Structure 1
Amino acid sequence: MNELSIGFVGGGNMAQAIIRGLLAAGHRPDRLYVSDPSAESRQALAEMHGNIRLQNDNAELAGLCDVLVLAVKPQVLPDVARQLATTERAASQLVISIAAGVTMASLRGWFSDSKRIVRVMPNTPALIGAGMAGLYADHDLDSIARGWADYVMEATGESLWVSDEALIDAVTAVSGSGPAYFFLVMEAMQEVAMEMGFDEQQARLLTTRTAAGAGLLASASDESAAVLRERVTSPGGTTAAALEQLEQGGIRDIFRKALNAAQKRAVELGKHELGDS
């Protein structure tokens, strides 16, 4: 697939992460096209690889590409879409939107000639190649286009297809916003570690390496998080004492409320983007 011509409308952090991953996977740089109004973004892309094709015209870019990645802010996407949707390649082109909250209904309306549209919810660990992306498309999307979408998004980590667009809002709540939940836990642990006598650098090292190690262990194991937790929890021990406090504080209910609130807000943002009340 390294011969695919892939165009990015918007060259910000997420687009750069995908491009970096594609280059690392051996994709031909001269088959990657980017348009972005920011001189800073264009400079970063030029420094990434001199053969990446930087375009000034969105419609011209769209006319060159098999895959079009929409990596602009949701509020400017309607105007950008009007520039992109009338090219001769629109009917066969795969359109991938990573714009938060922009629904398939809107994308279908803007790209009425396109039969290949995928909505994606990535997350920020994609910036280091450790991302988790949720993908949704209409049931009749062909297998070739699905493969292209996987190829693009798995350049930054892993991807998961969902069968119902409503589940993209759940993906937003779990993995899209998820890194912030872990950062908050790490922030709290670092604060307490410093209260215990560690300096800031030591507290950060202890916390970040523990978080990274736990994540890697959970990813490498076929066992559930519950089993892994039980394995490091001796009856009457230090871990048990800590977990008792967390359970008494209602940590499970707090996370349930937090994720439900994120999902609800994602739904609200989608309705607002559609102009619904």
Structure 2
Amino acid sequence: MNARPDSDQEMPLVAHLTELRTRLLRCVVAVLLIFAGLFYFAQDIYTLVSAPLRAYLPEGATMIATGVASPFLTPFKLTAWVALFLSVPVILYQVWGFIAPGLYKHEKRIALPLLASSIFLFYAGMAFVYFLVFPLMFHFFASVTPEGVAMMTDINEYLDFILTLFFAFGVAFEIPVATFLIIWIGLVDVETLKKARPYVVVGCFVVGMVLTPPDIFSQTLLAVPMWLLFEIGLLFGAMVRRDASKEETSDSTAIVPRESDDQPPAPQA
């Protein structure tokens, strides 16, 4: 049985709460520092984020601000969200630092790659929606705009729209990690997940319907990658379970040395 790597003594509840408070404060400070560094560029950040839509606006059309304070508050809110997204590695590192002392060594060997994969996949989901989904979606919306209707989007409504998609795709790209975890801890076996594949596909489209705007285009662009990412997580989960089964088999078939026949018999009373 593996021993805890750091200490066999349990920390008191007050110490856990104190450490939790410290790590939460570090997360907040990280977000505030990044926000302070980005605030000067708030207008430029909004210009960059709105580029996928502005590229498909009709000639002479522009984005509009219907609220009195929207020209200031909307870039301000976007910068705050960008600071939060950029702070994800720091936040996950603090989460790791809080739970790591309670893990065994073999659990840490799995947890560290999962942590790095989670960060990479979250940003990959955001890049996917910005560079692929947005251009396709806004080109489609612009092409189906009725004649006589000016396509002039409010900057605050656009921000709410893209933040929903950024968050939805960022979380959806974590599916391989979630699938791997439930297989690794033995909550569900690989064969059960394979049999449930049709339900997973339907579930991906349901999630896409809930998390994305009410159009079949964006729903499909979220549901299909979710299904493919589920298959990737299933593949890696099956590989890990196969390796674990081999180790268990080798341990169970290990030869236990017998007592030698040449040993003298035990003395009789």
TM-score between both structures, scaled by the size of structure 2: 0.28
More helix by share: 2
Determine which structure has greater relative contact order: mean sequence separation of CA pairs < 8 Å that are 6+ residues apart, divided by chain length. 2
- Highest Rg: 1 or 2? 2
More strand by share: 1
